[in-house]
Structure 1
Amino acid sequence: MQDIDFQLERDHVELNQLLKLCGIVDSGGAGKALVSSGAVRVDGEVELRRTCKIHAGQVVEVGDVRITVAGDGA
């Protein structure tokens, strides 16, 4: 599994934007489509809300990629 550490610079990031910023997809629209397909898990649960707010301390998984979100509070 590939691990990506993402440093959050704000209070939260929208899920579709996180996927774009980490290079999983090429655009926010592609991120929305990927989330809608049921292929994305947040903290182990399938997440279907495309603009779900992701906060420091959460883990997002897509296929064999795990994104750990860190921030000032994590």
Structure 2
Amino acid sequence: MQHPSSLMPGSDWEYSNTNYVLSGMVIKAATDHSWEHEVRARILRPLRLTLSHPATGRSCRVPMPVITSSSSRHRE
């Protein structure tokens, strides 16, 4: 691993986007379309979810302040 783990195995958990990144890579390889395109075409449009949209790095705005860790531990 490039970075050491911040937790001992089984002691706690932290949120990670790794599986979303990997699923996006698999979708791109299998369909030659982006994750966003496939979510719109296969889920949102067929279900007529016109007020929903997939969040992307370009469109997602997060207001401040932001919690930086999803861990149940308190960090200082």
Q: Structure 1 length as normaliser, TM-score? A: 0.26
Q: Structure 2 length as normaliser, TM-score? A: 0.26
Larger Rg, first or second structure (1 or 2): 2
Q: Which has the higher strand share?
A: 1
